[in-house]
A and B are shown apart, each in its own frame.
Chain A
Amino acid sequence: MNRANIFAFAGGGLSLAVVWVVVTGAFAALVLTAAGGEGPSATLSDPYLWRVVRFTLWQAALSTILSVGLAVPVARAFARRRAFAGRRVLLALFALPLALPALVVVLGVVEVWGRTGWFNGLAEIAGFQPVLNVYGLTGILLAHVFFNLPLATRLLLTHLDRVPAENWRLASQLDMPAGAVWRFIEWPVLKTALPGAASLIFMLCVTSFTVVLTLGGGPRATTIEVAIYQALRFDFDPVRAVTLALLQLALCGVLVMGAGRIVGDMQAQPSLGKKAVRPDLDGWAGDAVVIGLAGLFVLLPLVAIVTSAVRSDLARLAGETALWQAIYTSTWVALSAAALCLTLTAGLLSAVRASHRKRAGKPFFEWNTDAAGSLILVMPPIVLGAGWFVLLRGVGDIFTLAPLVVVVVNALMALPFVLRVLGPAVAQANLDHGRLCASLGLAGWNRLRLVDWPVLQRPLALSLAFAMALSIGDLGVIALFGSEDFTTLPFLLYQRFGTYRIDDAAGLALILTVYCLGLIALADRVRSERRKVTG
C-alpha cells in the first residue's frame, strides 16, 4: 500500500468515526436516559404521546394526498402545453420553494392566507367573515402543499416528458381522444411515478419541523419533532423527549426503508425534449385554469414575501446590532458546518476511491459511506440535537457548548446531500482519469492539484454553497440550542415572528432568502474545466 492510499484510508476511517460517534453518541444518550429514569413505559401510556403520533401521521398523509393529488392535473397540464410564454420561468419558480428556508415560506403563507392576509382581505371585501385560520392544521397543510405541490409537479413532469415521441405519433395515428390518451399513455406513466413521489413527500412532511413549530404547536397540532423540542426546551422532561425521539427514529427508519424500496427508479433522467404533436390538445381553457391556479398558489406567497419586506422598515432593521450579530453568527456557523461537511465527505470519498483502486476493502468503505448517508436521513437533526442536549446536560452548561453542537449537526445534516452531489462527480472523474493517474504515478498532492481540483471545482462549489445554505436556513437544532448569546438569522426571525413583529420578520425573511439563494447562484457561476472531451 502506498502513502497516498494510507492517507485516504486514514481520512475515510476518521470521517466514519466522527459520523458514528456523533450519531451513536446521541442515540446512546437517548436510550440510556430512557432506561435510567422512571422509564418510558409511563410515557408510552400517556395519551398525549399517541395524540402527537397520530397527528404527525395524519397531517403528513393529508399533505401528501393534497400535494400529489393536485400535482397530477398540474403536471399533466404542463406536459400538454409545452410552448406557452413563461412556461420555463414558471417551472423554474416551482423549484424555488424547496430551496427557501422553511421559515420564509411560513411567512409568505401567513401573508397570503393569514388572518389579515390577502385571501381573507378579499373575502371580507366580498362580504364574508374572515374564513381561514392559518394557525393549526389548515396552515400546516397550506405550507406543506406550497412546498410539495411544485416538487411533485416537477417529479411527475419528468416522467411524463419521458414518454417517447413514438407513443404520441402512434396516438395520432390511432386518433385517440383525450380520454384514451389519459388511460393508455398518461396514467400508466404517472402510476409508476406516484408511489415514489408520495413516499418522498410523506417523509418530508413527517419530519417537517419549522412549519409545524410556527403554524401549529398547540396541543391539537403538534408533531413528534415539535413535541421533542417542547419537551426539552419548555417542560425539561428528557424522558418524554427520549421516548418521542426513539419513536421518531423508528418511524423514520421504517419509512426510509419502505421508501427506498419504491423510490428506486425515481432518479429523473433528462428527457430528449423531442417534440411530437399530440392528438389530444383541443380545449386549452382547462389547462390554462389549472396552470394559472397552481402558478398563483406558488407565486403569491413569494410576491408577498417581497412586498411585505419592502413595506417593512429595512433601514431601521439595518441599524439594529442584533441583525448584524445574527448575520455574523449565521455566517461563521454555516462556514464551519460546510467546511466540516466537505472535509468529512472528502475523507469518505477518497477512501472509497482508494479502495476501488486496491480492490481490498472496497465493500467496507462503500457500504459504510452509504450507511452513514442513510443513517443521517433516518436520524432527524432534532433527534441528533436532542441526544446531545441530554448528553451534554451532565457535562456542563449546554449553552456554552451550543455553537459546537449546532455546527456539527448542521454539517451532518448536509452530508447525505453533499455525498449525493460529490459522490457521482468523483466516481465519474475517477472513471475518466483513474487508470491514467495510476499509470503516470499521479497521486496525493500532485493528483489533487493537477487533476481533481480543476475537474471537481464546480461540484465542490455547489456542495459548499448547498451545505452553507442548508445551515443558514436551518431552524432545527438552533431552536433547541439558541439563546440570547447565540442567535442565528432564522432564530432571530423566529423570535420576531413569535412576538408577532411581522414587519421585522418579513424584512429578515428577505435578507435570509437573498443570502441563501445568492450563495447558490454564486456557486452556479463556477465552471469546472470541461471534462466532456475525451483525449
Chain B
Amino acid sequence: MSGVGLKLSDVRFAYDDWQVRFDMDVAPGWFVAVIGPSGAGKSTLLNLVAGFEQPSSGSILIDGEDTCTLEPAKRPVTMLFQEHNLFAHLDIHTNVALGISPALKLTAADRDRIAVAFDRVGLSGLEQRRPGELSGGQRQRAAIARALVRDKPLLLLDEPFAALGPALKNDMLDLVAEIHREGHMTVLMVTHEPQDARRAASHTVFLDEGGVVALDQTKTLFARKDLPGLKAYLGA
C-alpha cells in the first residue's frame, strides 16, 4: 500500500457568513503542505476530510470512495491536532492502545505493535508516563505512535508542532517525513511556515479567498510568480 488518493469535488462549507469551496486532487503517496493566510480554511479543509465538519454539498473521495456520510472513526484517516491529542488522565500506553481498540481489548500481537510504535518514535521505556509528565515534543511523539498503530492510509496534521521550538519541530518533521517515506501514508499538513513545507512536503497547496488557488510540487509552487495572493502571503 502506498497511501491513498484524496479527491475533493466542489466541496462547499459555510459557517455564518464565512464560506469556502474546495476542489483538489491529491495522488496516493503525496506529502502535501497546506499553506495560506488565516481564515483561508486550512483547518476546515482537514476537519472536512476527517469528518468533524459536514460539507453542505460536494463529495470527498478517499481511495475512490465517497466518505461524506461516514463517522470520523469509520474513515481511513488519522488526524493530529495542535493540542489535546492525548487524554491527560491516561498513561501514554493506554492512549496509544486506544488507537487499536476503544474498549482496550488487546491481543499479544497488538501489544507487540504498540511496543514497536513506541520504539519507532523514541519513547520506549516511557509508556507508563502520563502526558503531564512528558515534554511537549514527547507528547506529540506519543500521538504519532498512535497514528502508527492505527495504520490509516491518510494522515492529517493540523499544526501539531506549532508550539514546539525550531530544533524540536524539525526533529518532528523529519520523523513524519521518515514515516511517510516508508510508503504507507498520504499526508496533509497545515503549516504557517514555508520552510516546513520545503523541509518535508513533496507538494504544497495554497489556499486563499475561500478556495484552492494552486496545488503543485513544493519547489515549483514557491517559485511561481503568477499568484499575487501567494506573493502577498509570503511577503517576499
Contact = CB atoms under 8 A, between A and B. Distances in A.
Contact of A530 (B51, B79, B83, B132): B132
B90 A450 contact: yes
Contacts of A455: 89
Contact of A435 (B52, B102, B130): B52
Contacts of A446: 102-104
A67 to B, nearest CB: 42
Contact of A438 (B52, B94, B131, B132): B52
Interface in B34-55: 50-52, 54
Given A450-B87, A533-B132, A438 B103 contact: no
A268 B85 CA distance: 31
Given A440-B98, A451-B87, A535-B139, 9 more contacts: A435-B52, A435-B79, A446-B103, A450-B90, A450-B94, A454-B90, A529-B88, A531-B88, A535-B143
A306 B46 CA distance: 63
B204 interface: no
Interface of B: 50-52, 54, 71-74, 77-79, 81, 83-90, 94-95, 98-99, 102-104, 130-132, 139, 142-143
A534 B73 contact: no
Interface residues of A, number: 25
Nearest to A358: B54
B73 A432 contact: no
Residue of B72, B77, B78, B94 contacting most chain A CB atoms (<10 Å): B72
Instruction: State the 6 A-B residue pairs at the shortest beta-carbon distance, nearest first.
Output: A535-B86, A441-B73, A529-B89, A534-B83, A533-B132, A535-B131
Interface string A197-223: 000000000000000000000000000
A436 B143 CA distance: 11
B128 to A, nearest CB: 15
A316 interface: no
A267 interface: no
Interface string A428-468: 00001101101111110011001100110000000000000
A275 interface: no
A525 interface: no
A64 B71 CA distance: 54
Contacts of A442: 73, 98, 102
Nearest to B88: A533
Contacts of A433: 84, 87
A442 B71 CA distance: 11
B98 to A, nearest CB: 5
Contact of B72 (A435, A447, A454, A534): A435
14 contacts: A433-B84, A433-B87, A436-B87, A439-B52, A440-B102, A441-B73, A441-B102, A451-B87, A530-B89, A532-B132, A534-B83, A535-B83, A535-B84, A535-B86
A451 to B, nearest CB: 6
Contacts of A432: 84
Nearest to B100: A440
Of B81, B84, B132, B139, the most chain A CB neighbours within 10 A belong to: B84
B233 to A, nearest CB: 27
Contacts of A535: 83-88, 95, 131, 139, 142-143
A183 interface: no
Given A435-B72, A438-B52, A534 B89 contact: no
A321 interface: no
Given A531-B89, A534-B84, A535-B139, A440 B73 contact: yes
A261 interface: no
Interface string A501-535: 00000000000000000000000000001111111
